[in-house]
Amino acid sequence: MSNTDRLLRDADHLIRRAAIDRDARSTVAAVATWPELVEAVQTLVSSQPTDPEPTVKSTMAMVGAIASSMHRDQLTHGWPTSGATNEAFLGAAERINEAATDTSRPRDDSGVTARQALGVLYHGAHLIRTGMEEYISHQFAHQQGRDLHRAVPMMDRVHRSEQLLDVAVNPWPWAGSSTTDRGPTQHLADTLAQWDIAAHRALVAPSATAIQIVATGEALTTRATGVLLNAADPLETRRATTGDPTRFREAITAAADRWQDLAVTAHKSGSATAGDRGALDAFTSMRQSLGQIVRDGPNPAAVEHLAQTIDLNVASQLSHQLLIAGADLAKAAEATVGNPGLHGSTAALMRQQREIQEESEEVSLINPDQRLRDKTMPIPPKMRGPLRHASADVVAATERVATLALVAHQPGPSPAEPRKTPSRRPEQLLGPSRPIRPPCPDR
Amino acid sequence: MNPSTKNEEAVEIIAGAARLLHQAALPRGHEFIDIYLASGAALASQHALWLLPQNVDVEAVPTPVATDPIELIRAAETLLGQLPDGAYALVPGLAGLVADVCALVRDCRAA
């Protein structure tokens, strides 16, 4: 292992530990130390014997400019206070600076060193963004808003840096290539996963606000549709799609059938403003995209269209419905717990609920069971069972979220002790070792 | 260590982590935290599988003997800590997986 490798690995481990151990204080200190970490990576990238790749170069230029503006603001406004320093970030910056002056480094490493350093920076940005979200949420909930006008713009800028670094370090697998046989399943699941991940992170916050309840309900509903998309068991999806084109097509065709369920679910969950027409349009559009994929093989444009259709048509309908439900939930939570932190969010939700209802000609919400009884939409008998289950899942998920929100707002004991578990090495957990076939050299 | 060997090592570690996370994602309880950790582990497992080349036989990786999701998630994080140097450059998307697993380990503390 070269000295540079060792230093970058140390820096990465420091940031990972910091991500696991972070709290409000260390997060705010990380904001103060962030420009120093960015500067260290900029020095390392510019000290490379060969020119950095264009993506790396442009990413670092933008992230560097953002970090400089943060540093200027810190000096001007005094937030975070000048004494705040995150030791892990400082240690990582020192190691990266040391790596930049390492003369034993190979002359041409094909940009590996630069990308590794960008990975470290991405983890740092991710830590700050998630930590700041919690910090800000906590401040809102406890009406301690004196730092908010400084903290929110700082978080926004780190968030932007995180997005830029994300694109550079975690590119889509098909970026720059024409096709991939993993595209459709991956992108569909990713669209769903991003909602889930956002909601999960929101829930980590010690005091979920009403708007987070809505976001989580939305994400859980999306997850229910994910189950319909056969994305529930990744190993099963992989088995169905690996290597064999026939099986891949069968899997996609099976997924197409599930779209029918999805359309019904969208219809069920869609607001009255969108109505039948919107659900059917969404279904038709999705079916066309999927048909194209089945006919012509995975194609990034078709897949993109499909993912956008989910986002724009289905998700927006779910959002309206859940916004209305969320307003009711927040109102109930506020009344039950009497938490003043909920008041502003509840009022905002109620306003939006009223606006939606005023815009809508048909105010009544769609009851899926009523739909089934009235048969206002032709639903094949085989779809009725899944629809009932999906409906039950959504209701159960919403209930869980509401329960969590209520629990989160009740004054409780001090944070629970971590569950004690005997530590074992991962190799021991995996049992007797068997070789994994290595990848083909041409992949 | 040449890039090919590093790549194989990275693949082996990611496959192991995917297996551990998949095991952690199996439904075990009805408490919110059980569902919460299981769904987080399922997403991370799915993310890990996406990173692997198609011809890697993940099911050849032995099923983990442990059943406690917290222990399994922590083991996955430890395993990912052993990634070879330059792994983020070798496997695009890996940094995102590592960040998600770190977040999951943090979530375990609330359990």
Choose from B2, B5, B46, B82 for mutation: most chain A CBs within 10 A: B46
pLDDT band at B3 (very low <50, low <70, confident <90, very high): low
Mean pLDDT (whole number) for A18-33: 92
Partner-chain contact A434 B109, CB within 8 Å: no
**B43 closest CB neighbour out of A8, A196, A400:** A196
The C-alpha of A438 sits at a distance from chain B's nearest C-alpha, in angstroms, of 6
Q: State the pLDDT at residue A270.
A: 38
Biggest distance spanned by C-alpha atoms of chain B: 47
Residue A411: CB partners within 8 Å, gap ≥ 6?
none
Partner-chain contact A5 B85, CB within 8 Å: yes
Between positions 74 and 103 of B, the ones with CB within 8 A of A are 74-79, 81, 85-90, 92-96, 98-100, 102-103
d(CA A235, CA A242): 10
Q: State the pLDDT at residue B85.
A: 86
Q: State the pLDDT at residue A400.
A: 42
Q: State the pLDDT at residue A300.
A: 47
Q: State the pLDDT at residue B35.
A: 60
Q: In A, which residues are within 8 Å of B36 by CB distance?
A: 200, 203
**B60 closest CB neighbour out of A126, A231, A434:** A434
Task: Report chain A's mean pLDDT, rounded to a whole number.
Answer: 58
Q: In A, which residues are within 8 Å of B11 by CB distance?
A: 436, 438-439
Partner-chain contact A171 B75, CB within 8 Å: no
Of A110, A99, A259, A86, whose CA–CA distance to A188 is shortest? A259
Q: In B, which residues are within 8 Å of A428 by CB distance?
A: 65
> Which of B28 and A241 is assigned the larger pLDDT?
B28
The C-alpha of A141 sits at a distance from chain B's nearest C-alpha, in angstroms, of 19
Q: Extract the tokens encoding A344.
A: 């502003």
pLDDT band at A304 (very low <50, low <70, confident <90, very high): very low
State which H helix or E strand residue A174 sits in: none
> Which of A64 and A298 is assigned the larger pLDDT?
A64
Judged by average pLDDT, the poorest of A26-35, A136-145, A414-423, B88-97 is A414-423
Choose from B54, B57, B80, B107 for mutation: most chain A CBs within 10 A: B54
B56 burial level (CB within 10 Å; 0-12, 13-18, 19+) = buried
Mean pLDDT (whole number) for A312-335: 42
**B85 closest CB neighbour out of A9, A239, A400:** A9
State which H helix or E strand residue A345 sits in: helix A343-359
Partner-chain contact B106 A204, CB within 8 Å: yes
**A426 closest CB neighbour out of B59, B78, B85:** B78
Of A185, A46, A61, A53, whose CA–CA distance to B89 is shortest? A53
Say if residue A68's pLDDT is above 80: yes
Of B74, B48, B92, whose CA–CA distance to A111 is shortest? B92
Partner-chain contact A441 B4, CB within 8 Å: yes
Residue B9 contacts A, CB cutoff 8 Å: no
Q: Extract the tokens encoding A310.
A: 């989910």
> Which of A16 and B90 is assigned the larger pLDDT?
A16
Q: Extract the tokens encoding A442.
A: 């041409």
Judged by average pLDDT, the poorest of A4-13, A83-92, A428-437 is A428-437
pLDDT band at B31 (very low <50, low <70, confident <90, very high): low
Say if residue A130's pLDDT is above 80: yes
Nearest chain A Cα to B101, which residue? A20
Q: State the pLDDT at residue A408.
A: 37
Task: Report chain B's mean pLDDT, rounded to a whole number.
Answer: 82
d(CA B44, CA B40): 6
pLDDT band at A238 (very low <50, low <70, confident <90, very high): very low
Partner-chain contact A238 B106, CB within 8 Å: no
Highest mean pLDDT among A56-65, B12-21, B23-32: B12-21
Nearest chain B Cα to A16, which residue? B102
The C-alpha of B21 sits at a distance from chain A's nearest C-alpha, in angstroms, of 11
Partner-chain contact A435 B60, CB within 8 Å: yes
Q: How many helices (H) and strands (E) does chain B have?
A: 5, 0
Q: In B, which residues are within 8 Å of A182 by CB distance?
A: 50, 54
State which H helix or E strand residue A236 sits in: helix A234-241
Q: State the pLDDT at residue B39.
A: 65
Place of tokens 């259709």: A309
Q: Distance between alpha carbon A1 and the CA centroid of its chain, in Å?
A: 34
Say if residue A276's pLDDT is above 50: no
Partner-chain contact A119 B88, CB within 8 Å: yes
Partner-chain contact A430 B94, CB within 8 Å: no
Interface pTM, i.e. ipTM: 0.87
**3-state SS assignment for residue A373:** helix
Say if residue A129's pLDDT is above 70: yes
For A345-377, how does the pLDDT look when each residue is reduced to its tens digit (9 = 90+)? Answer: 445 545 555 555 555 443 333 333 333 333 333
By the 8 A CB rule, do A288 and A278 touch?
no
> Which of A61 and B57 is assigned the larger pLDDT?
A61
Q: In A, which residues are within 8 Å of B7 by CB distance?
A: 439
Q: State the pLDDT at residue B45.
A: 79
By the 8 A CB rule, do A302 and A288 touch?
no
Q: Extract the tokens encoding A146.
A: 């004196």
pLDDT band at B28 (very low <50, low <70, confident <90, very high): confident
pLDDT band at A151 (very low <50, low <70, confident <90, very high): confident
> Which of A37 and A322 is assigned the larger pLDDT?
A37
Partner-chain contact A203 B106, CB within 8 Å: no
d(CA A366, CA A394): 14
Identify whether B92 is preceded by a cis peptide bond (ω within 30 of 0). no
d(CA A139, CA A366): 37
The C-alpha of B6 sits at a distance from chain A's nearest C-alpha, in angstroms, of 11
The C-alpha of A185 sits at a distance from chain B's nearest C-alpha, in angstroms, of 10
Partner-chain contact B88 A115, CB within 8 Å: yes
d(CA A349, CA A345): 6
> Which of A378 and B104 is assigned the larger pLDDT?
B104
Highest mean pLDDT among A281-285, A383-387, B27-31: B27-31
Q: Extract the tokens encoding A320.
A: 């309206």
Q: State the pLDDT at residue A360.
A: 47
Biggest distance spanned by C-alpha atoms of chain A: 77
Exposure letters A308-327 (e unless 16+ CB within 10 A, then b): ebbeebbbebbbbbbbbbbb
Partner-chain contact A182 B54, CB within 8 Å: yes
pLDDT band at A384 (very low <50, low <70, confident <90, very high): very low
Choose from B23, B26, B50, B57 for mutation: most chain A CBs within 10 A: B50
d(CA A283, CA A310): 10
Q: Extract the tokens encoding A267.
A: 């219809």
Say if residue A45's pLDDT is above 70: yes
Partner-chain contact A20 B105, CB within 8 Å: yes
Mean pLDDT (whole number) for A394-423: 38
